[in-house]
Chain A
Amino acid sequence: MNRIAVALIFVLVFTGLTSKDALAQCKQQLVYSCATENGRAIYLRDFNAKLKKSKPGKPAFVARFSVVLNKGTRYRLNLCNPNGYEDRTMLILYDAKKEYGKTFYTAEEAGKQGVLELVKKNYKPEEYSVLPDGGIMLQKFDFVCEKSGVYFVAIQYMDGFTDRKGCAVGILSFVGKNK
């Protein structure tokens, strides 16, 4: 009986203590490096996303955050992943009506919008990657806000990488007043 009791206590206490943290956020060290290795942009806020795994065939879990952005301001959004999770997540900026920017473009989107040419010309090699299917992953993009209001940042796994839980950090920074 004593053994059962001890086992029960162990299970209950363990699950009680860990359930809230089962989906851990990324470590603060990653937030710090992501926020400070960002050119001259001024850190405003981080989106430390806990990503759940999804069942096969189900859509990827999306971590959503809302934020007020101001007209006339150029913001930078960048995405960082812990080691072993590179090129597995994406960040999307949108509002109630439309999508504005993202860190992943499919081969088709990249072709239509000339993303690859823009990226090759302006980004350092370590700041982007071209996937085997022609899709493009970016570490960051800038957004010139022309309409003050509430916007949303979504962070999620890419298709095919939803089989484990993890985390990713998005950073919102102030680049400056757009001329």
Chain B
Amino acid sequence: MLKHISIILLMVSVLIACGDSGKNSTGDDTGIPNELQGEGNTEVSDEAMDQIIQNFPAPVEMAALMESINVPYSQKYLFPTDVADDYNTSFKQAIGLGIYSTDLGYLNIYSKTSSIVQYITVIKRIADALKVGQFFDFPTLKRLATNNENLDSLMFLSVHSFNQMDDHLRMNNRSHLSALVVTGVWLEGLYLASQVYKDLPNAKIAERIGDQKLVLSDIMVILKGYKKDKNFENLIVDLEILEKVYEDVKITIIPGKPEMVEQDGMLVIKQNEQSVVDISEEQIKVITNKVEEVRNKLMSL
């Protein structure tokens, strides 16, 4: 009887193991070699890597800043959707997913529902190619955008779908793709800020561009974890030039004690401890040019 039970146990174990491996298989067909797919290939621990990736700002945050300081909307800052058809590797698709998600955030913030359909169509196609399309509720998003209805829900669904896709990639041993998605989000956000600054110089935007020094250093940590891949290596080389420029951007901290105040009918915690960014016009100009170059290069690979 024990022999039979052992056989049954073995069969069940194999079945469960097979189920897991199927769930975690990436199905990546190009661009990123097998040894980079799955975890355990990085110098930083997988847990630390996930922690760093999940820190990154939401794709809508840079656009929200622009709108809150009354920067007018302009279509020219957005990445064209017609090139997305050429993204036939998971590397390009993941970067593209990040870039287009940031652009979708921008459109949402400015309530440009007529262009939103075009961007959600592209994002859905890329998400399907990366096998995360199930988290992108295309019919609902399309209906909300087409009917110009319930824009709060449209905003929520857009950002939430992105968060879920990113979570799914990380939870299923595809952190290499998640790293590219967040890099795309960050790069497009910085592109947006630097292009807006070129047109409408503003101290708050300059400060936000300077602040990206902190995020770039985290981006470099995660990308270097996958440097064995040629595409990653090229991206790292490009971003190292940007990192070099940021070396001279100074961020200092002025200590302070948080306090609780009343503002606009809310309990508001004011931090009072401040970071002060020292960035020159020349540095912003170099950053602007380099970001534009890297973005265009990535998307025309």
Q: A-side interface residues toward B, CB under 8 Å?
A: 1, 4-5, 8-9, 12-13, 16, 31-32, 35-36, 42-46, 65-68, 70-74, 76, 93, 98, 100-101, 113-115, 118-119, 121-123, 138, 140-150, 174, 176-177
Contacts and interface: CB of A to CB of B under 8 A. Distances in A.
B57 A70 contact: yes
20 contacts: A5-B8, A9-B8, A13-B12, A66-B51, A67-B55, A70-B211, A71-B207, A71-B274, A74-B268, A101-B269, A118-B262, A119-B267, A121-B262, A141-B266, A142-B266, A142-B267, A142-B268, A146-B270, A146-B273, A176-B68
A142 B266 CA distance: 7
Nearest to B203: A72
B156 A100 contact: no
A18 B55 CA distance: 29
A141 B271 CA distance: 13
Contact of B60 (A1, A44, A122): A44
A147 B275 contact: yes
Contacts of B4: 1, 5
B265 A43 contact: no
Contacts of A141: 266-269
Contacts of B269: 93, 100-101, 141-144
Given A13-B12, A100-B258, A174-B60, A144 B268 contact: yes
B260 interface: yes
A119 B265 CA distance: 9
A72 B204 contact: yes
B152 interface: yes
B275 A4 contact: no
A30 B131 CA distance: 26
Contacts of A122: 262, 265-267
A73 B9 CA distance: 56
Interface in B231-276: 251, 253, 256, 258, 260, 262-263, 265-275
B214 interface: yes
Contacts of B64: 42, 174, 176
B55 A68 contact: yes
Given A142-B263, A147-B273, 12 more contacts: A4-B1, A5-B5, A32-B160, A36-B153, A44-B60, A70-B208, A73-B61, A141-B266, A142-B267, A146-B275, A148-B251, A177-B204
